[in-house]
């Protein structure tokens, strides 16, 4: 049998195929590189009382991951990684948090776990430490010397609450008395201690306090008693978002005319709709909208803050809460740390995170702090905004210095923590 394929044609053909395969191989290997995936664990309440501080945060993390992936992924150690978010609902419950943590570590093999704080974090803290898993909490009272991989990189709750009260002390000399109402749990009590301290330092007397349980369905009696004391300022402390909503509405319906200062004012568009722009005018709290001009550069560290906020609002209208950006802000910091470390390995990333100085916090440069309270410097402490309602919109009126206040009045804070039985290592 004779062949009509010449040697030259054969070489050219095979060469072409080889070149094509090489090119294809190169292309495939590039595709594989871009498709390397790094997994982020999200373990917080997506249902139940604390869902308002879990679910909106997950939305934010998903938007953050989308933005990272749209920009080509995370660049670590000279390679690109696509970010994947894996979430479990812990329902703010210790057992469910433990199950979720085991799944995230052993089945999903995540590189970092983002958590809300308090009970679920306490439940998994030892497990995370034993497995050297980098974990973040929004509640610094969770951190302790025996948990070196647990960080509070974003929130210094409840300490930042002092900034708004400090602002009142300097700008509203007519405010002399205060009333506090909140739910009776760790979150409420630690915040109550902080407000007590802040009011004491500002020369404001606390004349009424009411702690309520989770079974309360009618807030009218709670508000009636508070208003009856005629306080100049009322705080709902760190009440859960739904409680703030209903308590504020009750205060409106019962004709309260004084000032408010609070930790959060989540989904305030709904509260505005239930009350009025005039009623909420001047309301002070601690969490800004990220489209605030102050958040666009000028020493803050949250890339594309306004774009993030706009995407969030478009996708989840009216759902913006205190935590919408916070878990994403923790990831921003983690991105810097793994970039410096050149590795996603959790202990290595934790070490790199600890070595950040200054800490690039969303609200500006911060420092690791906490040894005096918790025995370890794992909470990022720096500036925190005082936010005021102005014509139905959140406006940052000041970037308060939490660190300076703590340095000056930390003893007052510790006194009130101890009085309410809130644990510190001090």
- The interaxial angle of helices 326-341 and 55-70, nearest 10 deg, is 40
- Our CB check for another protein shows the closer of 265 and 350 to be 265
278 belongs to the binding site for another protein (CB under 8 A):
no
- CA quadruple 102, 118, 362, 147: dihedral positive or negative? negative
- Residues 82 and 36 sit within 8 Å (Cβ to Cβ): yes
- Our CB check for another protein shows the closer of 13 and 221 to be 221
The whole-angstrom distance between residue 363's C-alpha and the CA centroid of its chain comes to 12
Q: Nearest 5°: phi and psi at 168?
A: -60, -45
Question: Rg for the chain (alpha carbons), in Å?
Answer: 25
| Contact residue for another protein among 135, 190, 262, 267 (CB under 8 A) | 267
CA dist 150 and 135 (Å) reads 5
208 belongs to the binding site for another protein (CB under 8 A):
no
Count of H-run helices and E-run strands, the chain: 15, 16
90 belongs to the binding site for another protein (CB under 8 A):
no
358: cis peptide before it, omega within 30°?
yes
The pattern of x and - marking residues 37 through 76 that bind another protein according to CB under 8 A reads: ---------xxx--xx--xx--------------------
- Our CB check for another protein shows the closer of 51 and 341 to be 51
270 belongs to the binding site for another protein (CB under 8 A):
yes
Nearest distance from C-beta of residue 333 to another protein, angstroms: 26
- Our CB check for another protein shows the closer of 229 and 412 to be 229
- Our CB check for another protein shows the closer of 117 and 400 to be 117
29 belongs to the binding site for another protein (CB under 8 A):
no
Within residues 305-324, the interface with another protein by CB under 8 A covers 319, 321
CB atoms within 10 A of CB 101: 27
Nearest distance from C-beta of residue 311 to another protein, angstroms: 18
Q: Which has the closest alpha carbon to 138: 333, 318, 278, 372?
A: 333
281 belongs to the binding site for another protein (CB under 8 A):
no
Alpha-helix residue ranges (DSSP H) falling in 92-203: 94-102, 119-130, 161-171, 186-202
Within residues 130-189, the interface with another protein by CB under 8 A covers 184
191 belongs to the binding site for another protein (CB under 8 A):
no
In the complex, which residues of this chain contact another protein (CB under 8 A)?
46-48, 51-52, 55-56, 184, 210-218, 220-222, 224-225, 227-228, 230, 241-242, 245-246, 249, 253-255, 266-267, 270, 273-276, 319, 321
């Amino acid at each position: 049998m004779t062949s009509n394929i010449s040697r030259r044609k054969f070489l050219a053909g095979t060469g072409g195929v080889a070149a094509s395969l090489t090119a294809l191989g190169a292309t495939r290997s590039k595709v594989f590189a871009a498709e390397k995936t790094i997994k982020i664990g999200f373990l917080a309440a997506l249902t139940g009382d604390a869902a308002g501080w879990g679910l909106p945060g997950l939305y934010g993390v998903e938007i953050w991951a989308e933005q990272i992936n749209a920009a080509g992924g995370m660049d670590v150690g000279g390679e690109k990684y696509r970010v994947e978010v894996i979430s479990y609902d812990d329902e703010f419950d210790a057992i469910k948090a433990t199950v979720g943590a085991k799944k995230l570590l052993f089945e999903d093999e995540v590189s970092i776990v983002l958590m809300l704080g308090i009970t679920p974090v306490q439940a998994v803290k030892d497990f995370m430490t034993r497995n050297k898993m980098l974990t973040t909490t929004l509640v610094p009272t969770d951190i302790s010397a025996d948990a070196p991989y647990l960080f509070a990189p974003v929130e210094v709750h409840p300490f930042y609450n002092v900034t708004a009260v400090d602002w009142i002390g300097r700008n509203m000399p007519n405010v002399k008395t205060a009333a506090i109402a909140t739910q009776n749990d760790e979150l409420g009590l630690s915040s109550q201690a902080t407000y007590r301290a802040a009011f004491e330092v500002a020369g404001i007397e606390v004349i009424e306090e009411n702690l309520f349980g989770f079974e309360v369905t009618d807030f009218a009696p709670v508000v009636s008693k508070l208003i009856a004391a005629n306080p100049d300022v009322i705080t709902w402390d760190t009440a859960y978002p739904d409680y703030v909503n209903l308590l504020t509405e009750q205060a409106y319906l019962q004709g309260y005319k004084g000032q408010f200062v609070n930790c959060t004012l989540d989904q305030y568009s709904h509260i505005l709709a239930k009350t009025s722009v005039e009623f909420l005018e001047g309301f002070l709290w601690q969490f800004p909208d990220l489209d605030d001009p102050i958040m666009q550069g000028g020493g803050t560290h949250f890339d594309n803050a306004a774009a993030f906020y706009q995407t969030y609002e478009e996708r989840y209208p009216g759902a913006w809460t205190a935590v919408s950006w916070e878990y994403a802000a923790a990831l921003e910091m983690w991105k810097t740390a793994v970039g410096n470390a050149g590795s996603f390995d959790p202990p290595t990333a934790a070490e790199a995170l600890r070595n950040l100085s200054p800490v690039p916090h969303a609200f500006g440069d911060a420092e690791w702090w906490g040894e005096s309270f918790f025995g370890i410097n794992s909470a990022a402490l720096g500036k925190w905004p005082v936010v005021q309602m102005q014509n139905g919109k959140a406006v940052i009126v000041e970037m308060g210095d939490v660190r300076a206040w703590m340095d000056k009045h930390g003893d007052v804070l510790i006194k009130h923590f101890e009085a309410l039985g809130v644990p510190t290592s001090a």
